[in-house]
């Protein structure tokens, strides 16, 4: 009974996701968001191989990787590209994903920079250095334009609270 209800709910969410895609089909820059989880498997040589797989099973404490896939579908280079990704509040930002440039981070959604330069206001009115758990948004500013037809990926890791 409860399962049936849940399924219906998710089906609706999936539909919504599908429907939003055509809305930015017109722009030359297509950005797809993906969420992946780590899957550990024993390899034949005795080591543990960690691969990223589409998220099926995520429970509190698990690490997830949010990936932004961008693709310049237009004929013109795209300059000054800024990708701003608010971190869902149920997740704690941990780092850039392996192979991805490090994003600037923000603890208030306004000021971005390196984590060490950021501060959080405490209950007593003072300031304390920001920690990873305080990060609310990450932002990438691409240094060079995305040439026509170019692809790229940006990704960060977070832990489900």
Identify the CA nearest to 154 among candidates 73, 97, 77, 93. 97
Does position 128 bind another protein by CB under 8 A? no
- Residue 158's CB is within 10 A of a number of other CB atoms, namely 23
Nearest residue (CB) to another protein, 53 versus 127: 53
Smaller CB separation from another protein, 38 or 121 = 38
Query: Which residues contact residue 56 at a Cβ distance below 8 angstroms, ignoring those fewer than 6 apart?
Result: 37
Tell the smallest beta-carbon distance from residue 100 to another protein (Å): 7
Q: How far apart are CA 117 and CA 153, in angstroms?
A: 26
- Map the footprint of another protein across residues 11-40, applying CB under 8 A: 11, 13-14, 16-18, 20-21, 23-24, 27-29, 31-36
Closest separation in Å from C-beta 108 to another protein: 16
Kindly tell me which of 23 and 44 has the beta carbon lying closer to another protein.
23
Identify whether the C-beta of residue 64 lies closer than 8 Å to the C-beta of residue 160. Answer: yes
Residue pair 62/94 in contact (Cβ under 8 Å)? The answer is no
Residues within window 54-73 making contact with another protein, judged by CB under 8 A: 54-61, 64-70
- Cα-Cα-Cα-Cα dihedral sign, residues 159, 50, 18, 147: positive
Closest to another protein by CB, 18 vs 42, is: 18
Closest distance between another protein and the C-beta of residue 132, in Å? 5
Of 13 and 42, CB closest to another protein = 13
The residues near 40 (Cβ < 8 Å, ≥ 6 apart) are 48, 49, 50
SS3 75: coil
The nearest distance, CB 125 to another protein, in angstroms, is 23
Within 93-122, the residues that bind another protein by CB under 8 A are 94-102, 114-115
């Amino acid at each position: 009974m409860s399962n049936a209800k849940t399924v219906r709910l998710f089906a609706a969410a999936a539909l919504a996701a599908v429907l939003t895609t055509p809305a930015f089909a017109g722009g030359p820059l297509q950005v797809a968001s993906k969420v992946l989880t780590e899957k550990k498997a024993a390899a034949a040589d005795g080591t543990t191989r960690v691969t990223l797989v589409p998220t099926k099973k995520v429970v509190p404490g698990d690490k997830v990787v949010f990936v932004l896939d961008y693709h310049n579908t237009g004929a013109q280079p795209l300059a000054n590209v800024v990708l701003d990704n608010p971190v869902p509040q149920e997740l704690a930002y941990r780092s850039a994903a392996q192979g991805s440039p490090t994003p600037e981070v923000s603890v208030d959604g306004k000021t971005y920079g390196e984590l060490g330069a950021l501060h959080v206001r405490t209950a007593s009115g003072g300031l304390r250095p920001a920690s990873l758990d305080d990060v609310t948004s990450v932002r990438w500013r691409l240094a060079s334009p995305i040439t026509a037809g170019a692809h790229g990926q940006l990704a960060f890791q977070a832990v489900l609270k």
